[in-house]
Structure 1
Amino acid sequence: MIPVTHPARRATPAGRARAGRWFGLAALLPLLAGCSSLELFNPMGSIAEQEMQLILVCTGLMLLVVVPVIILTLYFAWRYRASNTQATYAPDWSHSTAIEVVIWTIPCLIIVVLAVLIWNSTHALDPYRPIASDKAPLRVEVVALNWKWLFIYPDHNVATVNELVMPVDTPVAFKLTSESMMNAFFVPQLGSMVYTMAGMQTRLHLIGHTPGTYAGMSSAYSGSGFSDMKFPARVVTEDDFSAWLAQARSSGAHLDAARLSELEVPTHGAPLQRFSGVDTGLFDRIVGRYHGMGDDEICLPGEQPGATSKTSSLVASASRTAEN
Structure 2
Amino acid sequence: MSKKPRSLVRAAFSAVTLVMTMLLLSGCGNYMVLDPKGPIAEKQLDLIIITVILCSIIIVPVLIITFIIVWRYRATNKKADYKPEWAHSNLLETIWWGIPIVIIIVLAVITVRYTHELEPAKALASDKEEVTVQVVSLNWKWLFLYPEEGIATVNTLTIPEDRPVRFEITADSPMNSFWIPELGGQIYAMSGMSMALHLQADEPGTYFGTAANFTGEHFENMNFQVNATSDAEYEQWIQEAKSSPNTITDESYEEMSKPTEKEEPTLYSSFPEGIYERIVTKYMHDGAELHQHGSASADETDAAADTANANSEEDSSAHKGH
By how many angstroms is 1:83 displaced?
A: 2.1
Q: Who is 1:76 aligned against?
A: 69
By how many angstroms is 1:33 displaced?
A: 6.4
1:203 aligns with 2:196: yes
SS in 1 for 2:49: helix
Q: Deviations over 1:283-314 (max 9, x none)?
A: 000001111169xxxxxxxxxx99xxxxxxxx
Q: Who is 1:140 aligned against?
A: 133
1:65 aligns with 2:61: no
Find the aligned partners of 1:237 and 1:131 in 2 and give their Cα distance. Answer: 19
By how many angstroms is 1:69 displaced?
A: 0.5
When normalised by structure 1's length, the TM-score is 0.80
**Structure 1 moving runs of 4+ over 3 Å:** 28-35
Does the 8 Å contact 1:214/1:232 carry over to 2? yes
Within the candidate set 85, 93, 102, 2:78 is matched to 85
Find the aligned partners of 1:277 and 1:269 in 2 and give their Cα distance. Answer: 22
By how many angstroms is 1:275 displaced?
A: 1.0
Please tell me the root mean square deviation across aligned C-alpha atoms, in Å.
1.8
Summarize the alignment of residues 168-179 of structure 1 with structure 2, pairs less than 5 Å apart.
Answer: 168-179=161-172
Q: Deviations over 1:101-136 (max 9, x none)?
A: 101110011011101100100001111111000012
Q: Who is 1:159 aligned against?
A: 152
Q: Which structure is larger by alpha-carbon Rg, 1 or 2?
A: 1
Q: Who is 2:96 aligned against?
A: 103
SS in 2 for 1:277: coil
Find the aligned partners of 1:293 and 1:262 in 2 and give their Cα distance. Answer: 26
Structure 2: gaps (5+ residues): 1-21, 288-314, 317-322
Q: Deviations over 1:213-241 (max 9, x none)?
A: 11100000001110110000111101110
Q: Deviations over 1:42-86 (max 9, x none)?
A: 111010111111111101111111110111011111111222222
Amino acid at match of 2:40: I
Summarize the alignment of residues 1-324 of structure 1 with structure 2, pairs less than 5 Å apart.
Answer: 31-32=25-26, 34=28, 37-292=30-285
**Compared with structure 1, are the counterparts of its residues 64 and 29 closer, same or farther at alpha carbon in structure 2 (3 Å cutoff)?**
closer
SS in 2 for 1:255: coil
Find the aligned partners of 1:262 and 1:143 in 2 and give their Cα distance. Answer: 14
Q: Deviations over 1:126-171 (max 9, x none)?
A: 1111100001210000000111000000000100001111001000
Does the 8 Å contact 1:256/1:282 carry over to 2? no
Q: Who is 2:307 aligned against?
A: none
Which segment drifts farther, 107-116 or 251-260?
251-260
Find the aligned partners of 1:112 and 1:57 in 2 and give their Cα distance. Answer: 13
By how many angstroms is 1:187 displaced?
A: 0.5
Which segment drifts farther, 42-51 or 75-84?
75-84
Percent identity between matched residues is 39
Find the aligned partners of 2:41 and 2:26 in 1 and give their Cα distance. Answer: 22
Q: Who is 1:309 aligned against?
A: none
By how many angstroms is 1:96 displaced?
A: 0.3
